[in-house]
Structure 1
Amino acid sequence: MASPFVAVAGASGGLGQLITMDLLKRGVAVKALVRPDTDPSRTEKLHNAGAAITPVDLSDVPALTRELNGAICVVSSLQGLKDVMHTAQGNLLEASVAAKVPKFIPSDFALDFTKIKPGSNRNLDLRREFHTQLRKSGITWTSILNGPFMDLMAGDSPMINHKSRKVPYIGQMTQQLDFTTMEDTAAYTAAVAVDPNPTPNFLRIAGDTVTVQDIADAQTKVEGVQYTPSWIGPVWFMEFVIRVLRLFGGQNETLPIWQGLQYMTNMHSGAGKLEALDNDRYPELSWTKVEEFLRQQKNKQSKK
């Protein structure tokens, strides 16, 4: 690939595919980095859209370096535990530095872990710890923090109980919660990747900021039946429950029950709240609100 391009690691995943497609829509050449054993069906759409599907071993830094030569930005959408977020992503970072890539976007895409107490969220700790490698690397990097994905509200979601028509929460019902769809996050990431201007180390975005009452009201409008908030306890009690659940294992799972509860606690305590949003940095982008998203999901279900 002789012309300048953006490399997307983890391009076969949900977010990685969306980022790749948004870059292609912008007319940018994309090298989609995937594991050698990736099923071709997972990259067929990207291939047909014009991405260069590139199987590469993430443990082979020299091979990664060769693939990254000429890249204007490397976007990581890798997801996993320490072996992925530190080791594999660390190799990707090392290769990016060796290939003299101008910009690196790590796979953060989360709550504001810069404000969250270490030890309160295992998966966010992994992201925070990786930033030690980022700072030492000398590469220019930008981390995108978007809060929880709004997509978590779709289908049989733990955030909305459709059988009881309840929206469960802990702490205060008035707590503001940030949500951004994967599609909007991907579009913003693509814009950052090709931005010719310097970008800060952290960019914070939220498609919508709502309370649990707002979520219940939006679902009520969409479904035409009443949904209500449902308090399940104070934040401190959930923290106690998490400590107990961790005694029963799950350390080697990406999302055990207690990990999901850690996210819930960080959200509803306000610890991971995004402040000073950078939504307006790219005026051409639009943002999906909660009610609009829920209506889209209902329309999808009705077409099945």
Structure 2
Amino acid sequence: MAITVGIAGFTGKFAKRLVSHLLKRHNVSIRGYCRDPSKAPETISSSAQVTLFEGDAFNKDALTVFAKGCDVIVCCYLGDDKLMVDGQKMLIDVCDECEVPRYIASDWALDYTKLKLGELFPKDPMIHVKAYAGTKKVQGVHILIGGFMKPIFSPFFNIYDPQSQALRFWSSGDEIMEGTTYNNAAEFTAAVAVDQKATGILKCNFFQYPESSVAELPSKNSPLLFEKVYGIKPTLESNGSLDDLYKLMHVKREKIPEDIYSYISLFFYYYWINGQTLLGKDLHNDRYAEVKPVSWANFMTQWPLKALPTSFFALNA
């Protein structure tokens, strides 16, 4: 059955990866919405399966033209709270007016449904949007993936030190860190988009699954895996307890709240490992057999040791 997938925020990094997987499906037509269609790669924009529409997130007339005829709309917005909340609300309203059956929200996150507003503040928009979508005719779809795994090795988290070959951790270092690679998340989203029965919350945790070990990195057992892949056994350095981390992240935020990058990674790390946002065992990993999970070892072998810290995706790209 042919299906038309609308993608808002078409030229973003995740959207491009999503489109690459959708184009492998010959029964899919893609309608892309973005501020500057010229930024779309020619390999995508020249496809007979793709139609591009120009407009910003708050141009209701342009959004309406884009949304008409879509069987599902995937929101790939990434930006400030105004875009992530008000922009998505407008897009949801347009979906309702144009009778688009499903709306895949810009989530791809830890299980934020277990958070209170203000706890992991970057995820507050998702809580607002999920609640808003629940009041509309369009059926909301929310894809939870744990955390994106590439930033683990980046300066953002400061877990891996390429100079000293050290792995740093908070708490015991053995906590579960659920997650999914960027590509697996996009591939899973493509499968959800074309599955017209997929609604509500869908959870995938491909990075840990189906391995039995829990937090291979960073953990007290991680040097074994690191040594196996790179031939180097890193040292382990404790940053402190979970309580120490909680205190530090709030002190930094209270001291200079506008310097968000001095503490945002600490908030992510805390709620990633404190057990509150775990996806658990009720996953949808096996729902789409075409999505092949990538393990820690698989991921690491794709990157030379020197390039490992640069493997992360840009959060604002």
TM-score, normalised to structure 1's length?
Answer: 0.89
* Counterpart residue type for residue 43 of structure 1: P
Q: 5+ residue gaps in structure 1?
A: none
| Higher alpha-carbon deviation: 6-15 or 228-237 | 228-237
Alpha-carbon distance change, 25 to 166 in structure 1, aligned in 2, over 3 angstroms: same
Deviation at 1:287, TM superposition (A): 0.5
Structure 1 residues 52-89: Cα deviation after superposition (integer angstroms, max 9, x where no partner): 23221211112211211110100011112211110111
Structure 1 residues 188-235: Cα deviation after superposition (integer angstroms, max 9, x where no partner): 000000103x22411111112231235443332222111244221112
Partner residue in 2 for 1:177: 177
Deviation at 1:280, TM superposition (A): 0.5
Partner residue in 1 for 2:237: 230
Partner residue in 1 for 2:207: 208
Are 1:105 and 2:110 counterparts?
A: no
Deviation at 1:292, TM superposition (A): 0.7
Partner residue in 2 for 1:244: 251
For 1:30 and 1:299, how far apart are their aligned partners in 2? 38
Deviation at 1:246, TM superposition (A): 1.4
Partner residue in 2 for 1:284: 290
Alpha-carbon distance change, 300 to 105 in structure 1, aligned in 2, over 3 angstroms: farther
Partner residue in 1 for 2:25: 26
Partner residue in 1 for 2:194: 194
Partner residue in 1 for 2:311: none
Alpha-carbon distance change, 301 to 223 in structure 1, aligned in 2, over 3 angstroms: same
For 2:232 and 2:68, how far apart are their aligned partners in 1? 56
Alpha-carbon distance change, 67 to 245 in structure 1, aligned in 2, over 3 angstroms: same
Structure 1 residues 155-204: Cα deviation after superposition (integer angstroms, max 9, x where no partner): 656332222222222122221111211100000000000103x2241111
Match of 2:44 among 40, 43, 46: 46
Alpha-carbon distance change, 231 to 117 in structure 1, aligned in 2, over 3 angstroms: farther
SS state at 1:108 partner? coil
* Counterpart residue type for residue 270 of structure 2: T
Deviation at 1:17, TM superposition (A): 0.7
For 2:226 and 2:275, how far apart are their aligned partners in 1? 23
SS state at 2:270 partner? helix
Give the conservation status (yes or no) of the 8 Å contact 2:54–2:62. Answer: no
Match of 2:228 among 207, 221, 226: 221
What aligned pairs does 1:156-171 form with structure 2 within 5 A after superposition? 156=155, 158-171=158-171
Q: 5+ residue gaps in structure 2?
A: 209-213, 309-317
Are 1:114 and 2:113 counterparts?
A: yes
Alpha-carbon distance change, 94 to 16 in structure 1, aligned in 2, over 3 angstroms: same
SS state at 2:303 partner? helix
Alpha-carbon distance change, 215 to 66 in structure 1, aligned in 2, over 3 angstroms: farther
What aligned pairs does 1:39-118 form with structure 2 within 5 A after superposition? 40-50=38-48, 51-118=50-117
* Counterpart residue type for residue 122 of structure 1: F
For 2:45 and 2:75, how far apart are their aligned partners in 1? 19
Deviation at 1:42, TM superposition (A): 4.5
Instruction: Give the RMSD, CA atoms, in angstroms.
Output: 2.2
| Higher alpha-carbon deviation: 94-103 or 164-173 | 164-173
Give the conservation status (yes or no) of the 8 Å contact 1:9–1:75. Answer: yes
For 1:256 and 1:106, how far apart are their aligned partners in 2? 25
* Counterpart residue type for residue 33 of structure 1: Y
Deviation at 1:116, TM superposition (A): 2.6
What aligned pairs does 1:118-137 form with structure 2 within 5 A after superposition? 118-137=117-136
For 1:87 and 1:267, how far apart are their aligned partners in 2? 27
Structure 1 residues 81-106: Cα deviation after superposition (integer angstroms, max 9, x where no partner): 21111011111111111111111100
When the two structures are aligned, how many residues end up with a matched partner? 295
Deviation at 1:114, TM superposition (A): 1.2
Give the conservation status (yes or no) of the 8 Å contact 1:31–1:54. Answer: yes
| Higher alpha-carbon deviation: 147-156 or 164-173 | 147-156
